[in-house]
Amino acid sequence: MRPSKLFSKVAMGVVGSGDTRLPLIKSKKRPLKSLTKRELIQLESEVGRTLFGEPPEGTTRREFFNLDPKTWIWHEEWRDKHGKEHQITTRYEIQEDSVIKVQPGLRYQKVEGQELENLRVAVELYHEQVMRKIYKRDPRTGDKLL
Amino acid sequence: MQASEQYHVPASYDQTIEDAYKTPEAAFVEPERVGETAARLLAIGDRLEEVRLDEARDAA
- Report the percentage of chain A scoring pLDDT > 70: 77
**Quick check: A98 and B56 CB within 8 A?**
no
- Closest CB from B14, B34, B47 relative to A142: B47
**Quick check: B28 and A117 CB within 8 A?**
yes
pLDDT at A136 over 60: yes
C-alpha to C-alpha distances, B6 to A73, A121, B19, nearest whole angstrom: 23, 11, 10
Distance between CA atoms of B58 and B1, rounded to whole angstroms? 48
B10 touches chain A (CB under 8 A): yes
For the question of whether the overall pTM of this predicted structure is more than 0.90, the answer is no
In this prediction, the residues of chain B whose per-residue pLDDT falls under 70 are: 1-32, 58-60
| Most confident option among A38-42, A49-53, A110-114, A125-129 | A125-129
The minimum CA-CA distance between B2 and chain A, rounded to whole Å, is 14
- Report the percentage of chain A scoring pLDDT > 90: 56
In tens, the pLDDT along A32-55 reads 667 888 899 999 999 999 998 888
User: A16 falls in which pLDDT band (50, 70, 90)?
Assistant: very low
| Most confident option among A16-20, A92-96, B18-22 | A92-96
Inter-axis angle of helices B34-59 and A37-48, nearest 10: 130
Distance between CA atoms of A29 and A130, rounded to whole angstroms? 15
- Which of B52, B53, B54, B57 has the highest number of chain A CBs within 10 A, making it the mutation to test binding with A? B52
C-beta separation of A117 from B59 below 8 A: no
Checking ipTM against 0.95, whether it exceeds it is: no
